[in-house]
Structure 1
């Protein structure tokens, strides 16, 4: 496993590699963090080591951290004032039910492309962004690309296998909430208004892939080194029980089904209903799962009461 980068390049060295004006970034790196004081330097350092021919900006959204994360970010911004933009919440948005932070972060992005990374994950390959942008620039039918990821158990530093897709994805596969490694993704900045009714979906990343699937396909970039995803007690997803993960996926698919119905996209709504069927049976068993599904369908007005 590659160790986190301890000494990133100076700001002048990052700016010097670019062939165009840094005031017009091609890529906006968007990082969300909350109480990642132990990890946030590694995340930001992973952005700063990127070797690109194009300018990028770094937008970090701090969801009202209380463990010193904000102070670390302020220090980093003072060292890299032309690269880092910092958004600090006064109140924690996650605890208020806002799961999809797109309207707090993505709407600030000036880049043609957006790359995302959680504050407790980090990149180790300095070619990551260049590989992804080079592909998207020459393949207009793809809306996003992503790389592999390795899980790192924080206590032991043991590398663990993570579950997600490691292959190219069709538009339909993205729309139907296929899971991929979130902190590895780079996508076109196509969605200017993110639907308010989806902001409370437990899995905001699945919402993102579904909406982006409206604009194209997904490419797995196998040439890049895997990103690192930490598995630790404060991890929102990795430490959830399997039942909780399935239940959150059911809720996310239900919200997406309702949204697609509102948009008169019944075929896509039925895809999410199909996911709910399979997930409900997995979580509750055939009889109870079928009963809960029927109630969900009635609520969505797909069957009569």
Structure 2
């Protein structure tokens, strides 16, 4: 598989219930260029591996597989840096994990056309529809914006992580990120620091068209694990804070004002989750940062709890 313009990366693990939809989304793409799909199965214990082999045998010009005999993630190995990125070909990289899928046959074509015309764009994304684990429609999208627009590092840092676009919508320039920058890493989180990095070396372009579906709380997913463990959520916020401090240093404090606000937001979330409302009450800066990212109903709930502390 040579002379590919785009390489698509797909991580799979125990996705037997979903992986066919993912692979079908790849083979339905209509493009004027060649692309290949690298599917990495991390030693699934269900039928995922056999389904991947079935598609690879049927479409050898599209699929390249990496089938592990033992789980690499559990050994602490960065699968993308170690196994996938060395096999990437072409100018652009796209991604879709094995429990999500693409819904638009022109997805790759539209993103490539934009990036070919705009060399300063380092990441092109689009809107994504959320669906339930069983595939039922939620009639809710990741982004409510209905117009094309660009996003900067500042936009991402000040927004709730994951509020603008989903990983299944990513297409980035391979020469800008052949390997991950360790300063832009947040333990347990991949797409958010990656988007921050790409925004720091260029800009992100958003296409409002829904071209993928994100399966909420699928079996074994990161989001399902987070939602079932309160301590993991708190640890995630601490990792985001740690990551932002590293980014601030790496970028020579170029984004310090917005990074300070982002850190204040994450600190406020931890205070609220730990029900430390008295500390939140004593820090108007953190409380204001939290309110900027919460819904009106959520803000009202936190305000009621803070008011209860004030009245004691």
Would the alpha carbon gap of residues 183 and 69 (structure 1) be closer, same or farther in structure 2, given more than 3 Å must change? same
Aligned twin of 1:250:
238
Q: What do the CA deviations read for 1:110-143 (whole angstroms, capped 9, x no partner)?
A: 1200011011111111111100000000011211
Q: Are residues 1:122 and 2:101 paired?
A: yes
Aligned twin of 2:305:
none
SS, match of residue 73 in structure 2:
coil
Would the alpha carbon gap of residues 218 and 195 (structure 1) be closer, same or farther in structure 2, given more than 3 Å must change? closer
Give the 5 Å matches for 1:161-176.
Answer: 161-164=140-143, 166=145, 167-174=149-156
Q: Could you tell me whether the CA contact under 8 Å between 2:128 and 2:142 is conserved in 1?
A: no
SS, match of residue 210 in structure 2:
coil
How far the C-alpha of 1:187 sits from its partner, in A, is 1.1
Q: Could you tell me whether the CA contact under 8 Å between 2:184 and 2:196 is conserved in 1?
A: no
Would the alpha carbon gap of residues 46 and 246 (structure 1) be closer, same or farther in structure 2, given more than 3 Å must change? farther
**CA distance, structure 2, for counterparts of residue 100 and residue 257 of structure 1:** 25
**CA distance, structure 2, for counterparts of residue 236 and residue 124 of structure 1:** 22
Give the 5 Å matches for 1:1-305.
Answer: 23-98=2-77, 101-155=80-134, 157-164=136-143, 166=145, 167-174=149-156, 179=162, 180-189=165-174, 190-196=176-182, 201-222=187-208, 224-231=209-216, 232-237=218-223, 240-241=226-227, 244-245=232-233, 247-261=235-249, 263=250, 265-268=252-255, 271-285=258-272, 288=279
How far the C-alpha of 1:92 sits from its partner, in A, is 2.3
Q: What do the CA deviations read for 1:188-236 (whole angstroms, capped 9, x no partner)?
A: 11212323576662111112112212321111112x4331111234332
How far the C-alpha of 1:247 sits from its partner, in A, is 4.1
Q: Could you tell me whether the CA contact under 8 Å between 1:175 and 1:212 is conserved in 2?
A: no
- Provide TM-score, normalisation by structure 2: 0.75
User: Aligned-pair RMSD on alpha carbons?
Assistant: 3.0
**CA distance, structure 2, for counterparts of residue 122 and residue 131 of structure 1:** 17
Which is richer in helix? Answer: 2
- Provide TM-score, normalisation by structure 1: 0.77
SS, match of residue 237 in structure 1:
helix
Structure 1 range deviating more: 56-65 or 163-172: 163-172
How far the C-alpha of 1:185 sits from its partner, in A, is 1.2
How far the C-alpha of 1:184 sits from its partner, in A, is 1.1
Q: Could you tell me whether the CA contact under 8 Å between 1:250 and 1:275 is conserved in 2?
A: no
**CA distance, structure 1, for counterparts of residue 89 and residue 136 of structure 2:** 36
Would the alpha carbon gap of residues 23 and 156 (structure 1) be closer, same or farther in structure 2, given more than 3 Å must change? closer
SS, match of residue 267 in structure 1:
coil
Q: Could you tell me whether the CA contact under 8 Å between 1:98 and 1:200 is conserved in 2?
A: no
Structure 1 range deviating more: 68-77 or 279-288: 279-288
In structure 1, the gaps of 5 or more residues are 1-21, 292-305
SS, match of residue 205 in structure 2:
strand
Report the number of matched residues.
270
